Amino acid sequence: MTSLSEAPEEEPIAKLQAAESSVFASRWEQFTPYIAEFWGTLVITATFLCNVDGAGTDPAFKSISQAFMVIGIVSATKHITGASLNPSVSLALALAGRQKLRTAGLLCVAQIAGGLTAATLCFEAGVAKELVLGPLKFHNWVQVGLLESLYACMLCLVYLNCAASTKNNPKGDQNGFIGIAVGCCYLASHNAAEGICSTVSNSAVAIGLLVYGAGGIHLSHGVGYFLYDLLGAFLAAGIYRVLRPKEFVSLSRLNEDNTQESAVLGSEFIGTFYIVLTQVSSRLSGEQDLGPQAWGTAAAVIAMVCALRDVSGAHFNPAVTLAVRCSGRSPAEDMASDPKEVRYGIFYAIAQVLAGVAASLIAGIVHASQPRTSTVEAATASQICIAEGFGVFFLCYVVLASSVTFPVDGSRSKQNNLAGVAYGSVILAVTLTVGNISGAMLNPVSVVSAIMVGAVSGRNSLLVDVTYHVVAAVAAAASFLVTHAQLYAKDALDAD
């Protein structure tokens, strides 16, 4: 299947080589991408091995440490190599037609070498002798494999959409959120797997684990994680082709309306699925701490919004979709306001609900043998109403103001777009603030999923919570109309 961007100049790699005023000799330049991939993967692997050591820092901070290291390394090397720093990502790029197979193979060699070097150095230095991987108590390898494959798929898919998409990362206006999005994938996976296992999501790290075969970690750990990560790469490449059919010659020849509608609804399904899966799984971890739910859900939101906002608008929440519809704004950048919007709103909600059901089924499987506990303290109905109502109100308003609002004059640069960070920040803040009161579901789909797996307090009623969310969404749309009247004035002038 041929890609529109199979030409060498379109590959998200070796940007440095094309520089007109390079300070390196041309022969040396040929090695710079692989050196960057080697060092980047080495640092990420070493950080992971130190963080999964059973002793030392609080586990909550270990996942944050891993995520921020990834953000830093990806941001530092993306202009040199594209910063895949993961053989699974390189494989996904090749399978999606976004990178030549030979180039992907050479990058994999550099990445694996980096992972093995880091593991050898850590092992010889005795830095990470007490690795805690999994499966932990009450869990098995089937559950570990399911989570590892899904979150490896998430990481590869986010990278493909943020770095390899010609629409989301156009030449001449590259976005600045690739590092943030990829790092958030690690943070989401670690928190979703809390109490089950330590997710790896990087096949170079998995190969590095083989070095520890003689140090107490069975050889099957490294082999198992490696195979799960490769499976995630295959899944991500297939999903990417479905979500962005216009970027492939053979798919772009199909009926444009059908492919576009499938891509939009598929985007809402995938994004909602990962957000709800992370939220519900972190609640089922058996801990009373709201930190994993807050950080994990916020990270999943940021990653998926950065990856898919230009496809569907990245609502991932029926309350947000309702607020967008009530505000009269278009659901996504290249969707004009027309009668189809009503249909899109209904289909969005259906896709989101189906994604929530699928997420609850997966969460139920990976937590099938774990005792159920709730993080929600006793609260009155009025307290839950205020907590959920104001949380959803602010969430919808922030999404309206940052994600579906475009400048009155001029165009918005993708490089400076932080709509995903804004969306995720509200999730993080509200969950930590009122999570012990209402559970901070903030999404009708999350309520459905949490009820299905028994992750919420008995006080949470689907009908009652959805009512709070609907009222809050309508109120947010009304407030947006008042504070952004100039946008509607411009639309009226354009119509004339």
> Which pLDDT tens digit goes with each residue over 87-114?
999 999 999 988 888 989 999 999 999 9
305 φψ region: left (φ > 0), alpha (ψ -120 to 50), beta (else): alpha
| C-alpha closest to that of 59 among 191, 205, 209 | 191
Gap between the Cα atoms of 224 and 465, Å rounded: 41
**Residue 329's domain spans which residues?**
266-496
Same domain assignment for residues 228 and 348: no
Residue 119 lies in a domain: yes
What's the CATH number where 136 sits?
1.20.1080.10
Domain closes at, from 201, 223, 254: 254
Same domain assignment for residues 80 and 154: yes
Phi, psi angles (nearest 5°) of residue 3: -100, 150
Same domain assignment for residues 202 and 64: yes
Residue 223 lies in a domain: yes
Residue 261 lies in a domain: no
Same domain assignment for residues 277 and 407: yes
Residue 260 lies in a domain: no
Phi, psi angles (nearest 5°) of residue 248: -130, 130
Domain closes at, from 205, 230, 254: 254
Same domain assignment for residues 313 and 200: no
Same domain assignment for residues 301 and 361: yes
Q: pTM higher than 0.85, yes or no?
A: yes
Where b means 16+ CB within 10 Å and e means fewer, 140-178 reads eeebbbebbbbbbbbbbbbbbbbbbbbebbeeeebbebb
Which of helix, strand or coil describes residue 63?
Answer: helix
Gap between the Cα atoms of 296 and 300, Å rounded: 6
- Residue 409 contacts by C-beta under 8 Å, 6 or more apart in sequence? none
Chain-centroid distance of CA 276 in Å reads: 11
Residue 311 lies in a domain: yes
Same domain assignment for residues 183 and 277: no
Same domain assignment for residues 77 and 137: yes
Same domain assignment for residues 221 and 107: yes
Residue 219 lies in a domain: yes
pLDDT of residue 23: 47
pLDDT of residue 385: 85
pLDDT of residue 5: 43
Same domain assignment for residues 103 and 184: yes
pLDDT of residue 356: 94
Q: Convert 247-273 into a string of H (helix), E (strand) and C (coil).
A: HEHHHHCCCHHHHHHHHHHHHHHHHHH
Domain closes at, from 231, 254, 277: 254
pLDDT of residue 21: 44
Same domain assignment for residues 143 and 280: no
Question: How many structural domains compose the chain?
Answer: 2
pLDDT of residue 369: 66
Q: Are the C-beta atoms of residues 164 and 247 closer than 8 Å to each other?
A: no
Task: Name the stretches of the chain with pLDDT < 50.
Answer: 1-10, 12-25, 214, 339, 374-376, 408-409
- Is 367 exposed, middle or buried, given 0-12, 13-18 or 19+ CB atoms closer than 10 A? buried
Gap between the Cα atoms of 346 and 335, Å rounded: 15
pLDDT tens-place string over residues 266-313: 999 999 999 999 999 988 875 667 888 899 999 999 999 999 998 888
Same domain assignment for residues 414 and 292: yes
- The residue behind tokens 């494959």 is 149
